[in-house]
Amino acid sequence: MDAGNATKVDKEILGNAKLDPENEKQGTEKRDRGLLRVDQSECKGCGLCAEACPPRAIRMGEQLNHYGYRTASYAGSGCTGCGVCFMVCPEPGAITVMRAVKASGPHALRAARTS
């Protein structure tokens, strides 16, 4: 994937708004600031990324990959794009983090890799 472009699915996920629990009464929406991908064939199931993730956006799955490891997976929302999971992962290429950055308009987003 090109570093400056996101796939259609990535744009849809980045564009999904979720309610901030602290501001739920006011109806304030908060968008995810990042998106991550876990390569199931590279993940060895150590769980360091799930432990290190500040917003707890990474979970350890129940299914096994072809090596017999329980692999990490993105919970679907909550990623801040901080890249801590990428930094603690001992497997190069297992985690890709994309950070949402403002483009030319006030509501336009594009993904930029932090890895």
Provide mean pLDDT across the span 14-36.
Answer: 56
Torsion angles phi and psi, residue 56, rounded to 5? 60, 45
| DSSP string for residues in 51-63 | HH-TT--EEEEEE
Under DSSP, the state recorded for 76 is: S
Q: For the chain, which domains are there?
A: 8-113 (3.30.70.20)
Q: Which of 86, 96, 110 is nearest to 33 (CA)?
A: 110
Tokens for 15, please give them: 């564009």
Sorting pLDDT into bands at 50, 70 and 90, what band is 100? confident
For residue 12, the model assigns a pLDDT of 46
Question: Model's pTM, two decimal places?
Answer: 0.64
Provide mean pLDDT across the span 29-42.
Answer: 84
